[in-house]
């Protein structure tokens, strides 16, 4: 009977139908969605930290307002995504506990430091650019609540990408010192941005099932290539050099060829040993403790309201 259910589920997904929270789904489907969506939520929340570092030092009031709005958007994305995880039957408290204990993963990219203002430009341009490449396909993911959250998130990500590219334009077309800052940020963020897409397809243990069930609609390598093809002309327009001597247009493939990725660095970062992993988790733990009284007050208020409703 289980086999029949699985077949029916596959047909349903193959027919481009959305799976909703109360529908039957294979346990492995539920499990991998909980894994991916919670990691995604954590990434949004931890992702606020490297940029928040620059809010008070943004070079003008306009830049400050824009960055503040962007960082607030990331918090909102985290909240939609924690809600999406809850539809799969896991409490968000448990999900957050897994982040704070170091058990859950979040995107490798947020374990790198933001050393100069140009890093804020590079993050918007490259990191949010990579996030969009990955998340546009997730608007068509088979799980309804995740797909719907992604539509709004992608709209906001496009604004983030543009604010980043606009900072890069200002710097790249500015003084020689500003241009050098932009180049330095590109040098440091390029390779980690390519790693965001995850291991290459032949080393990606979750891909086979996720593709079969249409959770992922494009493979890690396909998306990485799309991102590179889209970004190279943007770097050329800025007059900046991508730090990859092997980068070259391949007429036959219709894509850019690129040099080897340092996977050792990637695995090192995702196992907790990147340059800022400890700092990021410490900051999240501190924020969680400092917010405890707010959560308790909100819960007490909700209980009081529920009692009043009964009366």
Please report, as ranges, the residues that interact with ligand ACO according to CB under 6 A. Answer: 35-36, 39-40, 43-44, 47, 105, 107-108, 131, 134, 195-199, 204-207, 210, 216, 220, 270
Q: For ligand ACO, which is the closer residue by CB, 43 or 95?
A: 43
User: Collapsing DSSP states into helix, strand and coil, what is residue 248?
Assistant: strand
Count CB-CB contacts under 10 A for residue 256: 19
* Token pair in block for residue 54: 């620059």
- Find the shortest distance in angstroms from Cβ 144 to ligand ACO: 16
Q: For ligand ACO, which is the closer residue by CB, 188 or 216?
A: 216
Residue written as tokens 């448990």? 94
Q: Say how far apart CA 66 and CA 220 lie, in whole Å.
A: 31
Residue written as tokens 């109360």? 22
Residue written as tokens 């998306």? 223
- Find the shortest distance in angstroms from Cβ 290 to ligand ACO: 23
CA distances from 38 to 117, 253, 255 (A): 30, 36, 33
Q: Say how far apart CA 268 and CA 66 lie, in whole Å.
A: 33
- Find the shortest distance in angstroms from Cβ 178 to ligand ACO: 26
- Find the shortest distance in angstroms from Cβ 244 to ligand ACO: 18
Ramachandran bin of 32, using left for φ above 0, alpha for ψ from -120 to 50, beta for the remaining angles: alpha
Q: For ligand ACO, which is the closer residue by CB, 156 or 178?
A: 156
Burial class (CB in 10 A: 0-12, 13-18, 19+), 213: buried
* Token pair in block for residue 155: 């709209």
- Find the shortest distance in angstroms from Cβ 184 to ligand ACO: 22
- Find the shortest distance in angstroms from Cβ 160 to ligand ACO: 8
Q: For ligand ACO, which is the closer residue by CB, 194 or 242?
A: 194
- Find the shortest distance in angstroms from Cβ 35 to ligand ACO: 5
Q: Are 171 and 181 in contact (CB under 8 A)?
A: yes
Q: Say how far apart CA 60 and CA 112 lie, in whole Å.
A: 24
Q: For ligand ACO, which is the closer residue by CB, 183 or 225?
A: 225
User: Collapsing DSSP states into helix, strand and coil, what is residue 221?
Assistant: helix
- Find the shortest distance in angstroms from Cβ 106 to ligand ACO: 7
Residue written as tokens 């894509």? 255
Q: For ligand ACO, which is the closer residue by CB, 194 or 238?
A: 194
Q: For ligand ACO, which is the closer residue by CB, 39 or 183?
A: 39
Burial class (CB in 10 A: 0-12, 13-18, 19+), 60: exposed
Q: For ligand ACO, which is the closer residue by CB, 99 or 270?
A: 270
């Amino acid at each position: 009977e289980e086999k029949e259910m699985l077949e029916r589920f596959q047909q349903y997904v193959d027919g481009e139908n959305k799976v909703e929270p109360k529908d039957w789904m294979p346990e492995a489907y539920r499990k991998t969605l909980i894994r991916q969506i919670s990691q995604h939520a954590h990434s949004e929340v931890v992702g606020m930290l490297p940029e928040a570092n620059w809010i008070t030092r943004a070079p003008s009031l306009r830049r400050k307002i824009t960055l503040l709005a962007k960082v607030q958007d990331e918090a909102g994305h985290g909240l939609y995504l924690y809600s999406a995880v809850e539809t799969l039957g896991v409490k968000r408290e448990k999900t957050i506990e897994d982040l704070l204990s170091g058990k859950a993963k979040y995107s490798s990219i947020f374990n790198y430091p933001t050393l100069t203002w140009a890093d804020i430009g590079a993050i918007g341009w490259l990191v949010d650019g990579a996030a969009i490449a990955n998340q546009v396909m997730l608007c068509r993911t088979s799980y309804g609540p995740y797909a719907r959250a992604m539509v709004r998130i992608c709209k906001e990500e496009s604004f983030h990408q543009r604010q980043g590219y606009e900072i890069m334009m200002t710097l790249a077309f500015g003084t020689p010192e500003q241009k050098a800052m932009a180049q330095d940020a590109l040098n440091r963020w390029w390779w980690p941005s390519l790693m965001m897409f995850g291991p290459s397809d032949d080393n990606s243990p979750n891909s086979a099932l996720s593709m079969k069930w249409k959770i992922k609609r494009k493979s890690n390598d396909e998306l990485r290539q799309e991102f590179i093809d889209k970004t190279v002309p943007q770097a050329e327009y800025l007059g900046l050099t991508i730090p990859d001597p092997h980068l070259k247009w391949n007429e036959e493939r219709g894509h850019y060829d690129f040099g080897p990725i340092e996977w050792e660095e990637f695995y090192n970062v995702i196992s907790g040993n990147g340059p800022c992993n400890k700092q990021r988790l410490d900051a999240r733990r501190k924020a969680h403790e400092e917010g405890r009284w707010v959560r308790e007050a909100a819960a007490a208020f909700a209980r009081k309201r529920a009692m009043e409703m009964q009366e």
